[in-house]
Amino acid sequence: MQPTIMIRSAKYETCQEVINEIFSHYNPDLQGKKVLIKPNVLRGSSPEEGVTTHPAVLAAVIKAVKTRQPSQIIVGDNPGASGYGDNEESFRGTGLLETAGEYYENLGSRVRELQLDSEYLPRPVVSEAILEADYIINLPKFKTHGLTGLSGAIKNCYGYLPGAQKANLHFTAGNPYDFPKALLDVFSIRPPDLAIVDGILTMEGDGPFSEDLRRLGILLAGTDMVAVDAVIGTIMNFEPGLIRSTEIGHERRFGEKDLDRIHIDGQLKVVEDFKLPEGYLRPQEGGPSDFWKKLRAKRPEVDKNLCTRCGTCEEECPAEAISMPDYPVVEKDKCIVCFCCQEKCPTKAIQLKDPS
């Protein structure tokens, strides 16, 4: 069936109206269901930096979901990059923790190891809340990205992985050719059911950390994540076929990439001078950056002054890398750097340290 992508003009102050219209259109049956809402949280940056989903969008989505009587609502993400190992702090900085309120769950604190048909990540550790959800609402930020061209509905699923497993993948698949394949492997674990993209304040240039922002003033929505990304790529004025994650998503039958086969409900305006990420258009030779190498090398270490020897970290470590002869000890070669021990430690006794 031909997917429909909605595009509506919107402002943060009044976005509830548009969100309600989106829910009326897609009409998800949420009654008695476990609903997971996943905003895009990269680090604890303020909404004005255009890096993360705006709290006004999250607030409007929570309100719309509540009217449909779900049995449970969870709001969470595993923030990437500088957010590794402290999900709550990243959420707080974005204003999303306060907005999520009682619905916030630290997705790094409950995890499960899976087996995956992936050359990059055969045994991923994934947040339990993702696997348990009956319905996932994906709230990506409309922005550019050096490894994937754009960060949209597919890229936001990278946050299914807690901790520096993401840094590991940036290391083993750290180029624009391999990374989209690894990303689709992660996406395949649980494709979301509905995406609502925050395209009100957007990021252009060398995202996802760019300072070049553009106020497009739109919200996009759809139930086909590949089609959502195809529309984002078109608005950004990428040449057709250039976004590899969209192409691979289509090849793997996750959705439609061809604009001729996507029904657009609203006005699709191509932004002809949208600044595209140089790193994606002209990838450099060489391996992953020092930034990812350093993150990947970090390991948890226990501060004995804070540790109460409760044993939680040992119980919760999915790789069985922690033993407790006295205080917890991490076996460095076994550790898969998910940082779940740090997320779970009740006394914040675990810190991330460089191997030196």
Q: At what angle do helices 244-251 and 179-189 cross, to 10 degrees?
A: 50
Pick the piece of the chain touching ligand SF4 (CB under 6 A) from 57-65, 151-159, 258-266, 332-340: 332-340
Interaction of residue 67 with ligand SF4, rule CB under 6 A: no
Instruction: Return phi, psi of residue 64, to 5°.
Output: -65, -40
Backbone angles phi, psi at 91, to 5 degrees: -60, -40
What letter would DSSP give residue 339?
A: -
Q: How far is the CB of 308 from ligand SF4 (least distance, A)?
A: 5
Check residue 317 for interaction with ligand SF4 (CB under 6 A).
Answer: yes
Q: Residue count at the site for ligand SF4 (CB under 6 A)?
A: 26
Q: Binding string to ligand SF4 for residues 287 to 316, with x set by CB under 6 A, is what?
A: -------------x-x----xxxxxxx---
Q: Does 216 bind ligand SF4 (CB under 6 A)?
A: no
CB of 323 to ligand SF4, least distance (A): 10
Beta bridge partners of 201: 215
Return the range that interacts with ligand SF4 (CB under 6 A); candidates 15-23, 51-59, 177-185, 340-348: 340-348
Q: Which of 330, 333, 351, 353 binds ligand SF4 (CB under 6 A)?
A: 330
Q: Is 319 in the site for ligand SF4 (CB under 6 A)?
A: yes
**Could you say whether residue 169 binds ligand SF4 (CB under 6 A)?**
no
Q: Alpha helix locations (H) across the chain?
A: 15-26, 55-66, 87-94, 96-100, 128-132, 165-172, 179-189, 225-235, 244-251, 278-281, 290-297, 312-316, 340-344
Nearest to 78 by CA among 114, 105, 49, 112: 105
Q: How far is the CB of 44 from ligand SF4 (least distance, A)?
A: 21
One-letter identity of residue 314: E
Q: Are 198 and 115 in contact (CB under 8 A)?
A: no
Which region holds residue 64: left if phi is over 0, alpha if psi is between -120 and 50, else beta? alpha
For the bound state, the minimum distance from the C-beta of residue 319 to ligand SF4, rounded and expressed in Å, comes to 4
Considering the complex, state which of residue 100 and residue 121 has its C-beta at the smaller distance from ligand SF4. Answer: 121
Using CB under 6 A as the binding rule, whether residue 347 contacts ligand SF4 is answered as yes
Nearer to ligand SF4, 178 or 301 (CB): 301
Q: Which of 133, 196, 276, 338 binds ligand SF4 (CB under 6 A)?
A: 338
Note whether 114 binds ligand SF4 by CB under 6 A: no
State how beta strands 299-302 and 350-353 pair.
antiparallel
DSSP secondary structure, 194-256, as one string: EEEEEEEEEE-SSTTS---EEEEEEEEEES-HHHHHHHHHHHTTPPTT--HHHHHHHHTTS--
Q: Binding residue for ligand SF4 (CB under 6 A) from 340, 351, 354, 355?
A: 340
Backbone angles phi, psi at 222, to 5 degrees: -175, 165
Specify whether the CB–CB gap between 336 and 276 falls below 8 A: no
Say whether residue 231 binds ligand SF4 (CB under 6 A): no
Q: Mind spelling out the 3-state secondary structure of 107-129? A: CCCCEEECCCCCCCCCCCEEEHH
| Closest CB 187 distance from ligand SF4, rounded Å | 22
Candidate segments 64-72, 113-121, 142-150, 318-326, binder of ligand SF4 by CB under 6 A: 318-326
Q: Which of 248, 322, 326, 354 binds ligand SF4 (CB under 6 A)?
A: 322
Q: Shortest approach of ligand SF4 to residue 107 CB, angstroms?
A: 14
Q: Does 80 bind ligand SF4 (CB under 6 A)?
A: no
Nearest approach, Cβ of residue 316 and ligand SF4 (Å): 6
Residues binding ligand SF4 (CB under 6 A): 300, 302, 307-313, 317, 319, 321-322, 328, 330, 335-341, 345, 347, 349-350
